[in-house]
């Protein structure tokens, strides 16, 4: 009776096969890790100076697809127009519920006189039929930008507040 017969069946029969198996056992994981590292590393399509690997950008990409509402503190700052389209136009585009209509200088004229800060304050805290932030969930700066966008369309001459130095902005 040969000494091999009692052993569990193994594809490794000769010392040469054993050496090959050991080499493969090392090489395969290393190859897999190398592939993973390459995929996680910098994306060559994003040139120097972009914020592609910034914490925000990465979090943005990793976030679950099904998530509907997310507020990234300090995420890319929306422009006044973007906030307006997303949040304010519901009432202000048509002038619903007594809202001063977008682009209606007669409706905005008397309100502009109280100054930008007061208008922003109304938008942040709510006024009359308008809830705080117009019911939305934006940063204060984004709301201020939306106010400038709307007020200027109604005859105001406010400067849309800029993104803080170094902050990512969707568009300035
Ligand atoms: C649910 C409807 C609604 C939405 C959404 C809404 N507003 Fe208003 N808004 C109003 C109404 C109504 C008024 C008039 C309030 C009053 O004077 O009683 C108003 C007034 C304002 C005024 C003038 C405040 C003043 O002191 O005269 C500003 C500025 C303003 N809204 C900004 C915004 C911005 C910015 C957004 C989006 C982030 C927004 N609103 C979204 C209904 C809305």
For residue range 29-53, list pLDDT tens digits in order. Answer: 898 888 888 776 555 555 556 666 6
What is the pTM assigned to this prediction? Answer: 0.64
**146 alpha carbon – ligand 1 mean position (Å):** 11
Domain housing 118? 80-153
87, part of any domain: yes
5, part of any domain: no
Which tens digit of pLDDT belongs to each residue from 78-114?
999 999 999 999 999 999 999 999 999 999 999 999 9
* Total domains, the chain: 1
For residue 137, the model assigns a pLDDT of 87
Where residue 144 sits, what CATH number does that domain have?
A: 1.10.760.10
158, part of any domain: no
Q: For residues 28 and 42, what is the distance between their CA atoms, to the nearest angstrom?
A: 23
Tell me the sheet residues that pair with 132: none
**99 alpha carbon – ligand 1 mean position (Å):** 6
* Torsion sign over Cα 40, 46, 49, 55: negative
119, part of any domain: yes
The upper half-sphere exposure of residue 68, i.e. CA atoms within 13 Å in the direction of its Cβ, equals: 0
**102 alpha carbon – ligand 1 mean position (Å):** 10
139, part of any domain: yes
């Amino acid at each position: 009776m040969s000494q091999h017969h009692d052993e569990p069946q193994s594809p490794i029969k000769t010392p040469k096969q054993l050496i090959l198996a050991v080499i493969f056992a090392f090489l395969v994981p290393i190859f897999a890790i190398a592939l993973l590292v390459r995929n996680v590393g910098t994306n060559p399509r994003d040139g120097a100076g972009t914020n592609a690997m910034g914490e925000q950008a990465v979090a943005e990409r990793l976030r679950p697809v099904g998530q509907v509402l997310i507020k990234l503190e300090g995420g890319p700052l929306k422009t006044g127009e973007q906030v307006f389209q997303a949040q304010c136009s519901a009432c202000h585009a048509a002038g619903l519920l007594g809202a001063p209509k977008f682009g209606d200088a007669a409706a905005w004229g008397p309100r502009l006189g109280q100054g930008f800060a007061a208008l922003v304050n109304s938008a942040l805290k709510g006024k009359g039929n308008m809830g705080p932030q117009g019911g939305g969930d934006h940063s204060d700066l984004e709301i201020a930008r939306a106010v400038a966008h709307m007020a200027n369309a109604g005859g105001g001459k406010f400067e849309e507040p800029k993104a803080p130095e170094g902050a990512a902005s969707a568009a300035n």
